[in-house]
C-alpha cells in the first residue's frame, strides 16, 4: 500500500462528515429524495444500502487484482446487483410491508452512485480492511444525511418522528413536505445550511490563523 | 379504440403526471449534472430516451419470455427435462442482474452509434455518456415493466412497455431541458452564496415539481373525453 493513500481510520472518518456522500459529494440523490418522507423507510433504506455497500466493498477489494480496466464498471454493478438481490429478497421475506412501501427504490440501490464510486475509489485499490472501514464510514454518513432529511420532512409534514407524535394535534400538516416538491425544497435548503456552516467554520479558522499573536 | 385510449393515457402519465425526475426522483444525478446548457441537456435527454427505448424493448422481451412467473421458455425447458408439471418456474430472482447486462449493452451500442455519426456530440458528452449505464431512470423503466409482468392475469404487451419507456424518456428530456433553460437565466441572478450550485437547483426543481403536480388527473379527463366522443 503506498503512503499517499488514506489509511483505514481516515477513510472511516472521512465518510461521516468531511466527505459526506450526500452533502459533500452530491451522490446517490434518488433514494435520498424518494424515501425520506418518514423516518422508518429512510432508516430501512440506510441499513439496506449499508449492507450492500460494505459487502460490495469487501468483495471488490478481495478480487481487485483480477479486475480488467475496461470491464471494471460492469463487474462492480454485477457484484452490487447480486447483493441487492439478496437484500431485496430478505426485505420481502421479513419486512413485507416495508418492502412494498419502498417499491422500486430497493432494486435502484444497484445504480446508487455512492456504491460504485466507493468501489472505484477505495475498494479497487486498497485492502479488505480499509475497504470495510470505508464502507462503514460512508454508510454512516449516508444514514446521517437520510436521517437529517427525513427528520425535517416527517416533523413538518406529519408532525411525528418515527411514527411518534411530537407536535400538537392542531399542527397544520405541511402535506407538501411529504410530496415530491417538499423533498427538493428540504434537500436544497439543508444543502445550503451545510455549505453555510462549513464556510463559517473556514472563515473562523482563517481568522484564527491571521491573529497577530 | 380502447387500446388507443390506454396508450394515450399511459403516455401522458409517464411523461408529465408521474414525471420520472420530478415525481419518482430517478435520474437526479444527470439532471443536476448536465443541465447547464440547453443544447447539452437536449442531447442528453434524447440519448437517455433512446437507451431507455432499447432497454425497455429488450427487458420486456427477456421478462416476458424468460423471467416472469409462468414464462414460456423456462416452462418448456422444464417440460423437456421431465420436471414436475405442477411446479411454477419463477426466474425473477435473476432479473436485476439481467437488466444490468441489457442496459450496459444498450449504452455500449448508443455510444458506438454516436461516436460514429455525431463525433461533436460525443466529445461534448464526455464522461456522462458511459454514465448513462448507472442512470437510475433506465433501470427504473425496466423495473416498472417487470412489475407489470408479474401478475399473469393482466400482462402488459410490448406496446405498453415501449410507450412507458419512450414517453418516460421524453418526460425526462422535458424536465432536464426546462431545468437547463431556468439555470441559464439564473446565471444572472444574485443567489445567496451558500445556495449557489446544487442548492438553488434543487429548490428550482422543487418549484418545477410543484408545477407538474398540476397535471394530476389529466389522464382521467382524457378518458372521459374519449368516452363522450365515442358515444356521439
Q: What is the pLDDT of residues A166-177, one digit of tens each?
A: 888 777 888 888
**Kind and range of the H or E run holding A75:** helix A72-94
Q: Which of A77-81, A147-151, B125-129 shows the lowest mean pLDDT across its residues?
A: B125-129
Q: How far apart, in whole angstroms, are the C-alpha atoms of residue B89 and residue B217?
A: 39
Q: What is the mean pLDDT of residues A75-89?
A: 91
Rg (CA), chain A: 19
Render pLDDT for A123-149 as a digit per residue (tens, 0 to 9): 888 888 989 998 999 999 999 999 999
Q: How confident is the model at residue A94 (pLDDT cuts 50, 70, 90)?
A: very high
Give the model's pLDDT for residue A34.
87
Percent of chain B whose pLDDT exceeds 90: 19
Q: How far apart, in whole angstroms, are the C-alpha atoms of residue A50 and residue B39?
A: 38
With beta carbons under 8 A apart, name residues in chain B contacting A84: 96
CB distance from A133 to chain B under 8 Å? Answer: no
With beta carbons under 8 A apart, name residues in chain A contacting B195: 188, 191-192, 195
With beta carbons under 8 A apart, name residues in chain A contacting B22: 180
Task: Provide the CA A148 distance to its chain's centre, in angstroms.
Answer: 11
Residue B140, SS3 per DSSP: helix
Size of interface A-B (CB pairs under 8 A): 115
Alpha helices in B34-157 (DSSP H): 38-62, 72-80, 95-117, 119-125, 136-148
Residue corresponding to grid cell 433506465: B138
Burial of A71 (0-12, 13-18, 19+ CB in 10 A): exposed
Give the model's pLDDT for residue A212.
61
Q: How far apart, in whole angstroms, are the C-alpha atoms of residue B94 and residue B171?
A: 29
Give the model's pLDDT for residue A9.
81
- Most A CBs within 10 Å, among B27, B96, B98, to test the A interface: B96
The C-alpha cell that represents B201 in the structure block? 437547483
**Listed residue (B194, B226, B216) closest to A180, CA to CA:** B216
The pTM of the full predicted model, rounded to 2 decimals, is: 0.87
- pLDDT value at B145 more than 70: yes
Q: What is the mean pLDDT of residues A181-189?
A: 91
Give the model's pLDDT for residue B1.
64
- B21, B27, B29, B34 alpha-carbon torsion, rounded to 10°: -80
Phi-psi region of A112 (alpha: psi -120 to 50; beta: other; left: phi over 0): beta
- B40, B44, B50, B55 alpha-carbon torsion, rounded to 10°: 170
Give the model's pLDDT for residue B152.
74
Render pLDDT for A23-46 as a digit per residue (tens, 0 to 9): 887 887 888 888 888 899 999 999
With beta carbons under 8 A apart, name residues in chain B contacting A111: 134-136, 139
- Most B CBs within 10 Å, among A77, A91, A156, to test the B interface: A77
Residue corresponding to grid cell 407538501: A176
Q: How confident is the model at residue A185 (pLDDT cuts 50, 70, 90)?
A: very high
Give the model's pLDDT for residue A202.
87
Residue pair B150/B65 in contact (Cβ under 8 Å)? The answer is: no
CB distance from A175 to chain B under 8 Å? Answer: no
Q: Identify the residue with better confidence: B83 or B27.
A: B27
Answer yes or no: do B136 and A108 touch at CB < 8 A.
yes
Give the model's pLDDT for residue A2.
44
The C-alpha cell that represents A140 in the structure block? 454512516
Q: How far apart, in whole angstroms, are the C-alpha atoms of residue A150 and residue A213?
A: 45
Task: Please list, in sequence order, all residues whose beta carbon lies within 8 angstroms of the beta carbon of residue A75, skipping any fewer than 6 positions away.
Answer: A60, A63, A67
The C-alpha cell that represents A68 in the structure block? 480488467
ipTM of the complex as predicted: 0.83
The C-alpha cell that represents A126 in the structure block? 486498497
Answer yes or no: do B199 and A77 touch at CB < 8 A.
no
Q: How near does any CA of chain B get to the CA of A12, in Å?
A: 24
Average pLDDT, chain B: 86
Give the model's pLDDT for residue A213.
57
Collect all residues from B whose CB is shorter than 8 A from any CB in A.
22-29, 32, 93, 96-97, 100-101, 104, 130, 133-136, 139-140, 143-144, 147, 192-195, 198-203, 205-207, 209-210, 213
Answer yes or no: do A182 and B206 touch at CB < 8 A.
yes
- pLDDT value at B168 more than 90: yes
Max avg pLDDT among A199-208, B83-92, B114-123, B131-140: A199-208
Nearest residue of A to residue B26, measured between CA atoms: A30
Task: Please list, in sequence order, all residues whose beta carbon lies within 8 angstroms of the beta carbon of residue B56, skipping any fewer than 6 positions away.
Answer: B141, B142, B145, B161, B162, B164, B165, B166
Give the model's pLDDT for residue B58.
92
Percent of chain B whose pLDDT exceeds 70: 98
Amino acid at each position: 500500500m503506498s503512503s499517499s493513500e488514506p489509511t483505514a481510520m481516515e477513510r472511516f472518518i472521512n465518510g461521516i462528515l468531511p466527505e459526506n456522500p450526500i452533502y459533500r459529494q452530491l451522490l446517490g440523490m434518488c433514494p435520498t429524495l424518494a424515501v425520506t418522507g418518514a423516518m422508518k423507510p429512510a432508516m430501512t433504506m440506510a441499513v439496506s444500502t449499508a449492507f450492500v455497500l460494505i459487502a460490495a466493498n469487501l468483495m471488490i477489494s478481495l478480487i481487485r487484482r483480477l479486475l480488467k480496466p475496461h470491464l471494471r464498471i460492469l463487474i462492480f454493478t454485477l457484484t452490487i446487483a447480486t447483493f441487492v438481490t439478496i437484500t431485496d429478497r430478505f426485505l420481502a421475506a421479513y419486512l413485507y410491508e416495508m418492502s412494498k412501501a419502498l417499491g422500486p427504490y430497493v432494486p435502484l440501490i444497484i445504480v446508487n452512485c455512492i456504491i460504485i464510486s466507493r468501489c472505484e475509489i477505495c475498494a479497487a485499490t486498497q485492502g479488505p480492511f480499509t475497504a470495510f472501514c470505508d464502507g462503514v464510514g460512508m454508510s454512516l454518513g449516508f444514514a446521517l444525511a437520510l436521517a437529517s432529511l427525513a427528520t425535517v420532512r416527517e416533523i413538518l409534514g406529519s408532525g411525528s418522528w418515527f411514527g411518534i407524535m411530537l407536535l400538537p394535534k392542531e399542527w397544520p400538516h405541511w402535506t407538501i413536505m411529504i410530496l415530491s416538491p417538499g423533498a427538493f425544497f428540504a434537500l436544497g435548503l439543508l444543502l445550503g445550511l451545510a455549505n453555510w456552516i462549513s464556510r463559517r467554520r473556514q472563515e473562523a479558522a482563517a481568522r484564527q490563523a491571521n491573529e497577530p499573536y | 379504440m380502447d387500446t388507443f385510449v390506454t396508450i394515450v393515457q399511459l403516455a401522458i402519465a409517464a411523461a408529465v403526471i408521474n414525471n420520472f425526475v420530478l415525481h419518482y426522483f430517478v435520474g437526479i444525478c444527470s439532471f443536476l449534472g448536465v443541465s447547464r446548457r440547453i443544447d447539452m441537456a437536449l442531447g442528453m435527454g434524447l440519448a437517455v430516451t433512446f437507451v431507455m427505448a432499447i432497454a425497455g424493448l429488450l427487458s420486456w422481451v427477456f421478462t416476458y419470455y424468460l423471467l416472469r412467473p409462468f414464462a414460456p421458455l423456462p416452462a418448456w425447458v422444464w417440460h423437456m427435462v421431465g420436471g414436475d408439471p405442477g411446479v411454477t418456474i419463477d426466474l425473477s430472482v435473476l432479473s436485476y442482474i439481467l437488466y444490468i447486462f441489457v442496459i450496459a449493452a444498450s449504452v455500449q451500442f448508443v455510444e458506438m452509434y454516436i461516436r460514429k455519426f455525431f463525433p461533436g456530440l460525443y466529445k461534448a458528452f464526455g464522461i456522462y455518456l458511459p454514465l448513462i449505464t448507472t442512470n437510475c431512470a433506465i433501470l427504473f423503466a425496466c423495473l416498472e415493466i417487470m412489475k407489470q409482468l408479474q401478475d399473469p392475469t393482466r400482462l402488459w404487451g410490448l406496446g405498453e412497455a415501449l410507450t412507458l419507456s419512450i414517453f418516460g424518456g421524453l418526460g425526462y428530456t422535458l424536465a432536464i431541458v426546462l431545468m437547463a433553460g431556468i439555470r441559464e437565466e439564473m446565471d444572472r441572478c444574485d443567489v445567496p452564496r451558500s445556495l449557489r450550485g446544487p442548492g438553488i437547483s434543487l429548490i428550482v426543481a422543487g418549484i418545477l415539481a410543484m408545477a407538474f403536480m398540476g397535471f394530476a388527473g389529466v389522464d382521467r379527463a382524457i378518458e372521459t373525453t374519449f368516452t363522450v366522443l365515442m358515444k356521439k
